[in-house]
């Protein structure tokens, strides 16, 4: 994974099934987090990332008895901490927003390639309290997997790349 200027993340995931029939699998991810302390009790927080750009490319190929897959998603996480920055047991909220960017796969004797360029803006309200610190994490993750067949020696392979750019995120507290 490589971090670039202006909130740009470049990453790469590659996997190839082996001829011994062992599954191959690779994942990559990147994100940016914003920590904050609400200025008042029981406030409404508006999370706004008007621009989240993704540029994706993938290649998959399979031989007899093997498959290949690739996929990716973006999401927003919220974490809650006490005033000593200790994570709270009830403070890990699953994805507030989760968008699948692409998912593709091949069967026997297939080859796929493709790419997408998308903008996935996010705007969401949540309730926060000045009794806690919080972090909002904008995340992108992608994966590639390939299978192999020990009987035939054939394999599947998958390569994917994802570039993400989020130039701006706005947190607005509303009493």
In a domain, 125, yes or no: yes
pLDDT of 2 reads 37
In a domain, 144, yes or no: yes
Residue 6 above 50 pLDDT?
no
Q: Note the pTM of the prediction, 2 decimals.
A: 0.69
In a domain, 21, yes or no: no
In a domain, 171, yes or no: no
In a domain, 41, yes or no: yes
pLDDT of 110 reads 85
The mean pLDDT of the chain is 74
* pLDDT tens digits, one per residue of 17-72: 444 445 667 777 777 788 888 887 877 888 887 777 777 888 888 777 777 888 88
d(CA 16, CA 18): 6
Domain that holds residue 49: 26-152+161-166
Placement of tokens 């699953």 in the chain: 94
How many Cα neighbours within 13 Å face the side chain of 146? Answer: 24
pLDDT of 84 reads 92
pLDDT of 167 reads 67
In a domain, 3, yes or no: no
In a domain, 76, yes or no: yes
Pairing type for strands 156-174 and 8-16 reads antiparallel
Say if residues 97 and 122 touch (Cβ distance below 8 Å): yes
pLDDT of 61 reads 81
Neighbours of 158 (CB within 10 A): 31
Which has more confidence, 105 or 8?
A: 105
Q: What percent of the chain has pLDDT over 70?
A: 77
User: Of the segments 15-19, 71-75, 146-150, which one has the largest average pLDDT value?
Assistant: 71-75
Report how far apart, in Å, the C-alpha atoms of 109 and of each of 34, 105, 155 are: 46, 12, 10
What's the rounded mean pLDDT across residues 144-166? Answer: 69
Split into its structural domains, the chain has a count of: 1
In a domain, 30, yes or no: yes
Residue 76 above 80 pLDDT?
yes
Say if residues 145 and 69 touch (Cβ distance below 8 Å): yes
d(CA 74, CA 129): 26
Tokens representing 140 are 């992108």
């Amino acid at each position: 994974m490589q971090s670039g200027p202006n909130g740009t993340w470049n990453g790469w995931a590659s996997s190839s099934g082996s001829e011994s029939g062992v599954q191959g699998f690779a994942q990559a991810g990147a994100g940016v987090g914003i920590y904050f302390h609400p200025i008042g009790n029981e406030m409404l927080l508006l999370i706004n990332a008007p621009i989240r750009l993704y540029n994706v490319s993938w290649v998959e190929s399979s031989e007899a008895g093997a498959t290949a897959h690739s996929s990716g998603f973006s999401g927003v996480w919220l974490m809650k901490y006490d005033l000593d920055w200790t994570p709270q047991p009830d403070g890990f909220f699953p994805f507030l927003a989760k968008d699948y960017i692409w998912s593709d796969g091949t069967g026997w004797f297939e080859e796929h390639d493709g790419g997408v360029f998308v903008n996935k803006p996010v705007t969401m309200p949540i309730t926060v309290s000045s009794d806690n610190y919080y972090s909002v994490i904008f995340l992108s993750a992608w994966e590639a997997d390939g299978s192999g067949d020990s009987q035939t020696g054939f394999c599947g392979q998958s390569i994917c790349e994802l570039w993400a750019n989020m130039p701006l995120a706005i947190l607005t507290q509303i009493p």
